Amino acid sequence: MFCLRCGIEIILKVSRCICCNYLIFPATSALALLSLRVTEQDCPHLLFYGPPGSGKKTLIMALLRQVFGPGAEKAGSRNIDLELTTLSSANHVELSPSDAGFQDRYVVREVIKEMAKNRPIDTKGKRGFKVLVLNEVDKLSREAQHSLRRTMEKYSASCRLILCCNSSSKVTEAIRSRCLNIRINSPTEEQIVKVLEFIAKKEGLQLPSGFATRLAEKSNRSLRRAILSFETCRVQQYPFKDNQAIPAMDWEEFVFEIASDIMQEQSPKRLFQVRGKLYELLLNCVPPVVVLKRLLYELLKRLDAEIKHEVCHWAAYYVSISFQILFIVPLVDFPSPLECSAQAAYIQPPLIRANSDPVALHS
């Protein structure tokens, strides 16, 4: 249950929010109430946040479909000059401004502003309003978030923003306070089992309950991961067996290999090989933060206790700057294996260039 006014999550079975004393509703009726407020043009900007694979985007699409009908289905995509893909219908536009990297503030200032200005007119001649769905707002730079706040205020009469992110703590207080914050929790294992059983029924598959439970357990409470594992297992072996092996994701096995490589040998040559493998993961669009976290997880299993603390420290450090590295990596002239002396070569080039002028880097 959560409060519809301040968004606070209510765990106790009470009928009023403990924060603002506003009436609260169970999650199922909350979607209906939200859509009612959207249709009556009495809807605040919304910020959906929660762990990956918890169903935020699916919920946003369900809300749009409930409000605008089947017309809200994504009608088409287009690429704009900045290489940014948008998905849109007559009533809404969905985009991830953080995909533009360091140019995100231009996207917010120019592109989003332009979209927010145009107000659609419905078939009855009534002036409707546009819904902009912005994904991964927590990855936007501070400047972009400040521009977004100004856009939210200036065009609130003609446009509603639905923001989606994993962590609301990386969204500025100014934006959070202008939105109704809705936290989407990871589904429980029982809920994941129900979704898998539902999919199996629709696809006409026999899903043993023990196997469904194991899929849910292995999914780390991510619905996306559970569905992907289910698909992989279907391709590997059908009919399913209770004790059927659930394969790890390809990228996880690759990170496992990287961790083994690191542990086997620590030399400039091996450093060069490992770096190549890390770039391969980035080229395949595995987010750097995810790679670093997984690598840390694998390394911690193998490392001596004294060094674990330092490795955690550097992992945390590089997680915080990984976003910059992602956009700088292709532009860096890396030294040859002979030139790189141990860690220094791995650490220095992206750091030095990350602080450089982005325009100069491109030229």
Ligand X SMILES: Nc1ncnc2c1ncn2[C@@H]1O[C@H](COP(=O)(O)OP(=O)(O)OP(=O)(O)O)[C@@H](O)[C@H]1O
List residues near ligand X by CB under 6 A: 52-58, 166, 195, 223-224, 227
Give the contacts of 183 (CB within 8 A, at least 6 positions apart).
2, 7, 9, 49, 50, 168
Minimum CB separation from ligand X for residue 146, in Å?
24
Which tokens go with 351? Answer: 């750091």
User: Could you tell me the smallest distance in angstroms from the CB atom of residue 121 to ligand X?
Assistant: 30
Closest separation in Å from C-beta 55 to ligand X: 3
Which residue, 58 or 237, has its beta carbon nearer to ligand X?
A: 58
Give the nearest distance from C-beta 109 to ligand X in angstroms.
25
Which tokens go with 55? 């169903």
Closer by beta carbon to ligand X, 50 or else 349: 50
Characterize the bridge pairing of strands 179-183 and 45-49: parallel
Tell me phi and psi for residue 20, to 5 degrees. Answer: -120, 5
The nearer residue to ligand X, 57 or 113, going by C-beta atoms, is 57
Q: How far is the CB of 188 from ligand X (least distance, A)?
A: 13
| Residue 158 amino acid letter | S
Q: Fill in the DSSP letter of residue 44.
A: P
> In the complex with ligand X, which residue's Cβ is closer, 198 or 238?
198
- Count of C-beta atoms within a 10 Å radius of residue 132: 24
Measure the CA angle with vertex 109, ends 97 and 91; round to 5°. 65
Cβ closest to ligand X, residue 55 vs residue 97: 55
How near is the Cβ of 223 to ligand X at its closest, in Å?
A: 4
Shortest distance, position 222 Cβ to ligand X, whole Å: 8
Please name which of 215, 233, 234, 238 lies closest in space to residue 225, comparing C-alpha atoms. Answer: 215
The answer to whether 178 and 45 have CB atoms below 8 angstroms apart is yes
The bridge status of strand 24-25 relative to strand 2-3 is antiparallel
**Measured from the CB atom, is 97 or 349 closer to ligand X?**
97
Q: Tell me how far apart the alpha carbons of residues 130 and 86 are, in angstroms, rounded to a whole number.
A: 14
Using CA atoms, how far apart are residues 138 and 172, in angstroms rounded to an integer?
9
Of the two residues 143 and 217, which places its CB atom closer to ligand X in the complex? Answer: 217
Nearest to 144 by CA among 340, 343, 332, 323: 323
34's tokens? 């939200």
Looking at the Cβ atoms of 227 and 319, the one nearer to ligand X is 227
Minimum CB distance to ligand X, residue 130 (Å): 21
